Structures are given as C-alpha cells and as structure tokens.
Structure 1
C-alpha cells in the first residue's frame, strides 16, 4: 500500500453485487457517509459507470457542491471516483467463500499535493470518516438502515 493512502476494511454479510449496487448509486451515498459531509445529489445517473460524473451537495463548515468522475470501474468489484482535488475514493469488494464480502475503502491522496493534505490533517480526518462509514454501509446493506438506532 502506498504511503499516501488510508484504508480500512469490514466484512459485510451480503454478496458483493448487492453492496456494489449501493456504492454505484450516488443517491444512496448520504445514507452511509460517516464524515457528515455528503448531504445529497445535485446531478448524475442513477447508477455509476466508468467515466460517469455526479455532483454532490456537501458541507464542511459551509455548504458547497462537488463534482466527481468515476475513474476505475469493475462491476461488482471496484469503483473509484475523484474530483478536482485529484485524490481518489476507492471501494474494493472481495467476495468470500462463506457468502460474505470484504469491503475496503481507501482515501488515496498520492495523485495530488500530498504535503498539503498532510498539513491540513486530511489523512487522519479521512481515516476517522472511513471508520464511521464502513459500519454504516454494513448496517445499510444488512439491516436496511445506516442508523444504529434503526
């Protein structure tokens, strides 16, 4: 793994295709986002594919909009998107023999100003967000809700 990446994984009790359907639907992203910054979809397709763009309503202190482009796509297994900052959010799904799936989310900032990202604390902040996102995704897929209270 690159020095300029932050990754975390979780096992979800569902087939990879079912999890991927959630990840490939931008309208569902606010449901499992653990950072609290993804608020809603501005524009984009119902289902993402390679080269697709989608706009999101965001909030980190102040509201803003972000346009993302899918730069890696293997249906049911891998999806990666990036925006103007050049860093990437990658989701890798590894089906397991027991019917579960190992899901790994990676914040990859090796494509952009790595020193700036480190100075502003982005790797640590994004690690914490991933650690909150993965359990939310697990609950959403397994139980139908990302809210731990149901």
Structure 2
C-alpha cells in the first residue's frame, strides 16, 4: 500500500471502453459497489465527465446523501471523484492484450494532509481496502456480462 493510498487491481475480460462506460454511469455505481454503502443515484447526468456533479443515496449505519464532483477524467482511461472530504476515489484502466483491462481502484487520502492521521485512527484505510476488494470482482462480473 502506497503512503496515504489504498489501491487494488483486477484484470477484467472486457475492453476498457466497456469498463469505463460502467464507471462513467452513476446509475450503475450501486451495482458494483462492494462496500454496501452506495444505494442509488439521487441527481446527476447519465454520463459523467470532468466537472460533473452527482448525488448518491448512501448508508453507513444511517442513510445519508452525498454529492460528488468528478475531479480527474480521461475518456476510457481515468475517472476520479471526491465530495466534501479531501480524499479522492480514483479508477485507472490499462488495456491488456486480448481485449482485457487492468482496473486499479484507489482510495487516495493523501490530500488530507495532517488529517490523514485521523483517517488512519478511524480505520478508513482498512475498511476501504475491504470495500475495494469486494467491489472489483463485482465490477469484473458486470463488465464481463456486457461483452
């Protein structure tokens, strides 16, 4: 694990475009979320792009709503969003021979500065690693079902 980043990867038997189309569709997020916290789209575009804002129904113990903004975007290769907190959820796609894709999901809390200590104290890196490890196989299954 890189300092102040939690990252995992998986190989998907689908081209990057298929995977990216799922990630860029906020309505699909509850389908592949393995953390159990993403419940549904409240507001936002059908397809995300740089600067897009989208609201999600969430649940971590209690239900709440979260508005995210896309802060990094490269069509077919990279998409990342954040909300009020300083951390970023990042998805990177690397094409692999045979029409496959390496998907790297990262919880990047390096922008938190000194607050990163609080993230660690509250156990966010460990919990988010578990969520990523549950999310990636779900994303793989969803993407491969669309090929």
Q: TM-score, normalised by structure 1?
A: 0.94
**C-alpha distance in structure 1 between counterparts of 2:51 and 2:33, whole Å:** 22
**Structure 2 residue 110 is the aligned partner of structure 1 residue 110:** yes
Q: Extract structure 1 runs of 4+ deviating beyond 3 A.
A: none
Query: How many Å separate the matches in 2 of 1:68 and 1:19?
Result: 20
- Give the Å deviation of 1:24: 0.2
Partner residue in 1 for 2:143:
141
SS at match of 1:135: helix
Deviations 1:64-117 (A, max 9, x none): 000000000000000000000110000000001221000000000011120110
Measure the CA separation in 1 of the matches of 2:111 and 2:58.
Answer: 22
Distance in 2, Cα, partners of 1:86 & 1:122: 13
CA distance in 2, matches of 1:111, 1:66: 19
Distance 2:141 2:51 in 1: 29
* Distance across 2 between alignment mates of 1:122 and 1:9: 19
1:12 shift after superposition: 0.2
Give the secondary-structure state (helix, strand or coil) at the position aligned to 1:129. helix
* Root-mean-square deviation over aligned CA pairs: 0.9
What are the equivalent positions in structure 2 for 1:60-139 lying under 5 Å apart?
Answer: 60-112=60-112, 113-139=115-141
| Higher normalized helix content (fraction of residues) | 2
Secondary structure of 2:19's aligned partner: helix
Structure 1: 5+ residue stretches without partners: 145-150
Secondary structure of residue in 1 paired with 2:47: coil
Compute the displacement of 1:143 (Å). Answer: 2.4
